[in-house]
Amino acid sequence: MTELINPFMHFHVIKDYRQAGKINHKLSDIILMIICGVLSGHDTWEGVVDFGRLRLDFLKQYGDFKEGIPSADTIARVMGMMSTTALQNAFIKWMRDCHTLTDGEVVAIDGKTVRGSYDKSRDQQAIHMVNAFATANGMCLGQAKVNAKTNEITEIPKLLELLDIAGCLVTIDAMGCQRKIAQKIVDKSADYLLAVKGNQGKLEEVFSEYYHPSMLQEFSGDSYASQDKSHGRLETRCALVNKDLSVLGIGIYTD
């Protein structure tokens, strides 16, 4: 655990909004317990508390816990007061220390709706998150909460700004096929691989016309093809590397 615990020092900079004279449990202790509890598979405050009580001796190696383990209500109240932006930034710095990205490493940006986050009885909309993963080991490098899937377009550049991705290959689905996102990746000294679909109609049309079946047979550049059986059918995938961008034309991008 030493390799992962040392970066917990990043969380000491998060501001505690509780009244100074009424604090029994240090904020850094609460965050430490939550992270360890979640990493151990607990997804409720009650579960985190149970973990803390069972592993109090372990937690005391890295925190104070002079007043023991806080209650689930205390954890919920403290987390409700905390700045999510500050927590996000601290998490990203922690992940940066835990895993150093190397040249050519793939970082996948993907948006997912949190399972079980929609609550009709409380009029609570589903929570949608944008995550950045180091695909080599599945480590989450950073994440951002968005109000709706369409807001990924504005949140992805903000998330990229916080990441150290120099020399990496950033992959994003069709939602991220935007000039501003591509420019942000280039500004961070990284490369990008973006999917093209109907949200970029003109670009999709150009690709469809250029990469036609007969052209695949005649292509002389770098390429790779694979075949897999999936859902009762044989799927063929082709990857071509074309450095002649003139075929894409001018003025086909949208913001």
Which pLDDT value is given to residue 115? 62
Q: Hey, what long-range contacts does 215-224 have (CB within 8 A, 24 or more apart)?
A: 216/240
Per-residue pLDDT of the chain (255 residues; tens, 9 = 90+): 444 445 567 787 888 888 888 899 999 899 999 989 998 999 899 999 999 999 999 999 988 999 999 999 999 999 999 888 888 888 888 877 776 677 789 999 988 776 655 556 666 666 788 899 988 878 888 888 777 656 788 889 999 998 889 999 999 998 899 999 999 999 999 999 999 888 888 888 888 887 777 777 778 888 888 888 888 899 888 888 887 777 766 544 444
* Residues 6 or more apart in contact with residue 204 via CB below 8 angstroms: 196, 197, 198
Element (H, E) at 20: none
Residue labelled with tokens 């093809």: 225
Which one, of 192, 195, 191, lies nearest residue 177 by Cα?
195
Size of the chain, expressed as the number of residues it contains:
255
Strand boundaries in 183-222, DSSP class E: 191-194
Which pLDDT value is given to residue 121? 63
Q: Which residues pair with 110 in a beta bridge?
A: 131
Which pLDDT value is given to residue 116? 58
Element (H, E) at 35: helix 27-39
Entry pTM: 0.70
Tally the C-alpha atoms within 13 A of residue 206's C-alpha that lie toward its C-beta: 13
Reduced to 3 states, what is the DSSP secondary structure of residue 192?
strand
- Interval 181-194: pLDDT, tens: 999 999 999 999 99
- CA dist 227 and 238 (Å) reads 9
- Interval 65-119: pLDDT, tens: 999 999 999 999 999 998 888 888 888 888 777 766 777 899 999 887 766 555 5
Q: 101-195 adopts what CATH topology?
A: Nucleotidyltransferase; domain 5 (3.30.420)
* Residues 6 or more apart in contact with residue 241 via CB below 8 angstroms: 221, 222, 223
- Burial-class residue 95 by CB neighbours within 10 Å (0-12, 13-18, 19+): buried
Reduced to 3 states, what is the DSSP secondary structure of residue 10?
helix
Element (H, E) at 155: helix 152-162
Which pLDDT value is given to residue 255? 44
